[in-house]
Structure 1
Amino acid sequence: MSNQKKQWGAIIIMIALFAMIAFVTNLCTPMATIIKNQGEISNVLAQIGNYGNFVAYLVMGIPAGMLIAKFGYKKTALIGLAIGILGIAIQWYSGQIENPKENLGLVFGIYLVGAFIAGFCMCILNCVVNPMLNILGGGGNAGNQLIQTGGVFNSTAAVCCYILMGALISDATKAKISDATPALMIALGIFVLAFIIIAMTKIEEPEQAPVEVSLIKGAMSHRHFALGALAIFLYMGIEVGVPNFVQQYLTNEMKIPAGTVGMLVAVYWFMMLIGRFVGASIGGKVSSRTMITTVSVATLALVLFGMYAPTDVLVAFPGVDWGSLTVVWQDVPVGIFAFLLVGLCTSVMWGGIFNMAVEGLGKYTAIASGIFMTMVFGCAVMMFIQASVADAVGYIQSYWVVVFCAAYLLFYALVGSRVSKREE
């Protein structure tokens, strides 16, 4: 506890970073709505922000671990923040180009570079924040409590991102990248503040063992880990794909005002927030295998119901008219609620999959964490696949991609996660 009292500034800023990881990452989905309305843009091209952000994990996952091993958590966090400031600034600049529709290629190119660089930052900070909160908390239950607190703020920031961007976009048909400037400036300001505070804070860190790339082969030789890495790859398609294409469907097909859509999609992340509270409370009593089995089955049921529920059966949902700041009730298909409830399931998937995948890895556990970060790039791949299906057969039928991902997670929980060999 004394360690906590001495370093409350670092603890608070790490929790703030935990929140900003979600805020910046989730900007990509409402930004896709803006991009979709810049011209005759396909669903595949509209997702360029997600491609840039998540492909960066493929490039940076293992190097981030190496940076921590060489420089420690504090310096690595500063490196990540400096990169993030640059990435946000470039994304902001892409919205300042005059006549964006006439210079669409240039705007897209600059925005993509900014998203890619920001993705480097998100990957580095993800590798720093979880263990750093554990260290600052003193390890054990206190460290875990700080991590869970960070997770709550992470989900809360995701909710705020959708609500804020819905307010900023207002009319999706007239929206421009520059409309997102206030959101980008919030992220930029917090990153700058975090850089200053962390630079001035003395943080005691444990010695870091060197990360050897040669260990990758050893980790991947464990069947349950290799299948677990694929599970994380596909899980990203569920977590991001479900709310992403709800947003596109409601905005582009049902023509619901973007402000109201922001409120609707924010429910998904609110469900994740609730799920994390529940998961933390029962995690000590319920095994990861049971948890992932349950939420995988629930995801399959909810998504299939959402796909086949009659689109003409509507239910009223509360939203906000951001022009007049009044509460409105928006009619949406009943199946949309099923999609949004998937957030309850995805809330515990990452932790459960990770827990099963690293079981018995011994000396390979550290490198396994880096490999897991690399697998986050699965989001970019799965967004491309689902967007391609959406262009071909429509938004709702594109959820067959999510069904496939959930079915694999069920297989992994029941069969693939069984440990075949253990390391010392």
Structure 2
Amino acid sequence: MGNSSKKQGSIVAIMAMIFLFAMIAFVTNLCSPMAVILKNAFKVPEALAQVGNYGNFGAYFLMGVPAGLLIDKFGYKKTAIAALVVGIIGLLIQWVSGSMGFVVYLIGAFISGLCMCMLNTVVNPMLNLLGGGGSTGNQLIQIGGVFNSAAAVCVYMLMGSLIGDASKAQVSDAAPALFIALAIFIFALVVIFFTKIEEPKTGSSNSVQKTEDKYSCYSFRHFKLGMLAIAVYGAVEVGPPTYILSYLTAAKDAVNPGLGMDAGYCGTLGAVYFIFMLIGRFVGGMVGGKVSPKAMIATVSFVAMVLVALGMILPTSQTISCPGINYTTMSFVWGEVPVGIFAFLLIGLCASVMWGGIFNLATEGLGKYTAKASGAFMMMVAGFAVMIWLQAFVVDLTHNYITSFIVVLLSAAYIFYFAFWGSKNVNTDIPVE
């Protein structure tokens, strides 16, 4: 009976963590569609319109380590509840920003980012630990990623239907999406509050040992290399959809020339990229228990390198029919894009499983240091903003969007190195119990 209750509790805990995984994507991906609204509502340029993403990802840099310390001191459940409260506050501030100004929206996005960081710090290690680490832990993270990607696609579709005419968009147009997010967060708060979660042991369980411990998560080489891997992963996940849109819509005679294609159709390609991520995570969730994280990440990072290289060298004169999604009618629209751009879109299949696999490899074997390691790991998500800026810098330097994908290529190459060689734990002499 005791084992049955324990197993049932684990299943409930797993479902709760997967539910939170989806919520992370729902709120995080509100920022990009909101940029369309901000440009019209507050009359700001493109760089400032994306400030929601900067604030959201930038919050990880400040909250990553404190989130790990919160888990170490109060446990996963209390940290998750605190995160949801913070998220509710952030969403309410974004909602009132329509009448209070652009700075208020930025504050709301930043506070929401704090929530996302705290939730990520809870969800990833909990799924890994509930699965027992290794391939099974990785499989649970990939399954969580399926729901994460599905929520991202839903947000793009929902916001597209709410925005309608971009030239007339106002913050109030996004109110239904913000209210949906609020309702979900309140529901999640109730579910987590009444869910019994068996807390894994953390370093705080023995105060004497904590005082005398000369080691930390930073004592492990593979963890430090994994931190860098998750930072550069931002280029692989965020770079393609961001700069595909910029390249296809930029005028042919612009300072940074593009193809001058219809912005309405090109804007729909973002959802296609995330659908590829959804497919990749679904497949990853099915095979994650049979394939080691090392083999999985080494394979997809190598394929990503091949796709980036193809996208950079294939001529723009070779085109392929590619579907987009009309958000207002919920129907497919078709257009012709260079075959190299389609190769860039396919990177979504590879990027889909990288997050969970990198986390799994970076924290494997850390034992009591896992909670603080998770916080430090989340801090490196700030690298997403850095990688977005770095690729933009290359665009401005070379005046060539395609050349800027060298940033994505080098990032995928490093992830391949980490998976194949850098993820090996060479510090097995460090006690982790």
Q: Given the two structures, how large is their TM-score scaled by the length of structure 1?
A: 0.83
Aligned residue number for residue 87 of structure 2: 84
Aligned residue number for residue 238 of structure 1: 236
5+ unaligned residues in a row in structure 1: which ranges?
A: 98-105
1:75-113 deviation per Cα after TM superposition (whole angstroms, max 9, x unaligned): 22221111101111222222335xxxxxxxx41x22221
Aligned residue number for residue 311 of structure 1: 316
- Structure 1 counterpart of 2:299, from 290, 294, 301: 294
Cα RMSD between the aligned structures? Answer: 3.4
Q: Secondary structure at the match of 2:159?
A: helix
Q: How far does residue 19 in structure 1 lie from its aligned partner after superposition?
A: 0.8
Q: How far does residue 126 in structure 1 lie from its aligned partner after superposition?
A: 1.4
Greater Cα shift, 268-277 or 369-378: 268-277
Q: Secondary structure at the match of 1:95?
A: helix
Q: Counterpart of 1:297 in structure 2: which amino acid?
A: F
Within 5 A, what are the aligned runs for 1:197-346?
Answer: 197-199=191-193, 201-206=194-199, 208-210=201-203, 218-250=216-248, 254=260, 256-258=262-264, 260-261=265-266, 263-323=268-328, 327-346=332-351
- Structure 2 counterpart of 1:47, from 34, 46, 50: 50
Q: Secondary structure at the match of 2:99?
A: coil
Q: Secondary structure at the match of 1:96?
A: helix
Q: How far does residue 24 in structure 1 lie from its aligned partner after superposition?
A: 1.1
Greater Cα shift, 113-122 or 156-165: 156-165
1:358/1:391 Cα in 2 relative to 1: closer, same or farther (>3 Å)? same
Greater Cα shift, 208-217 or 183-192: 208-217
5+ unaligned residues in a row in structure 2: which ranges?
A: 205-209, 252-259
1:47-77 deviation per Cα after TM superposition (whole angstroms, max 9, x unaligned): 3112111111111112212222333333222
| Contact kept in structure 2, 1:26 and 1:158, CA below 8 Å | yes
Cα distance in 2 for residues equivalent to 1:326 and 1:55: 35
Greater Cα shift, 368-377 or 351-360: 351-360
Within 5 A, what are the aligned runs for 1:25-424?
Answer: 25-35=28-38, 39=43, 41-43=45-47, 45-97=48-100, 106-107=101-102, 109-132=103-126, 147-199=141-193, 201-206=194-199, 208-210=201-203, 218-250=216-248, 254=260, 256-258=262-264, 260-261=265-266, 263-323=268-328, 327-392=332-397, 393-422=399-428, 423-424=430-431
Q: How far does residue 121 in structure 1 lie from its aligned partner after superposition?
A: 0.6
| Contact kept in structure 2, 1:64 and 1:127, CA below 8 Å | yes
| Contact kept in structure 1, 2:87 and 2:185, CA below 8 Å | yes
Cα distance in 1 for residues equivalent to 2:214 and 2:237: 26
Q: How far does residue 11 in structure 1 lie from its aligned partner after superposition?
A: 5.8
1:69/1:418 Cα in 2 relative to 1: closer, same or farther (>3 Å)? closer
Q: Counterpart of 2:189 in structure 1: which amino acid?
A: F
Q: How far does residue 178 in structure 1 lie from its aligned partner after superposition?
A: 3.7
Q: Counterpart of 2:313 in structure 1: which amino acid?
A: Y
| Contact kept in structure 1, 2:93 and 2:104, CA below 8 Å | yes
1:177-210 deviation per Cα after TM superposition (whole angstroms, max 9, x unaligned): 44333222211121122223333x1514336534
Q: How far does residue 114 in structure 1 lie from its aligned partner after superposition?
A: 1.1
Identity of aligned residues (%): 56
Q: Given the two structures, how large is their TM-score scaled by the length of structure 2?
A: 0.82
Cα distance in 2 for residues equivalent to 1:216 and 1:119: 32
Q: How far does residue 216 in structure 1 lie from its aligned partner after superposition?
A: 9.6
1:12-46 deviation per Cα after TM superposition (whole angstroms, max 9, x unaligned): 55433221101111222233344456656254x34
Q: Secondary structure at the match of 2:84?
A: helix
Q: How far does residue 337 in structure 1 lie from its aligned partner after superposition?
A: 1.4
1:222/1:305 Cα in 2 relative to 1: closer, same or farther (>3 Å)? same
Q: How far does residue 152 in structure 1 lie from its aligned partner after superposition?
A: 1.8
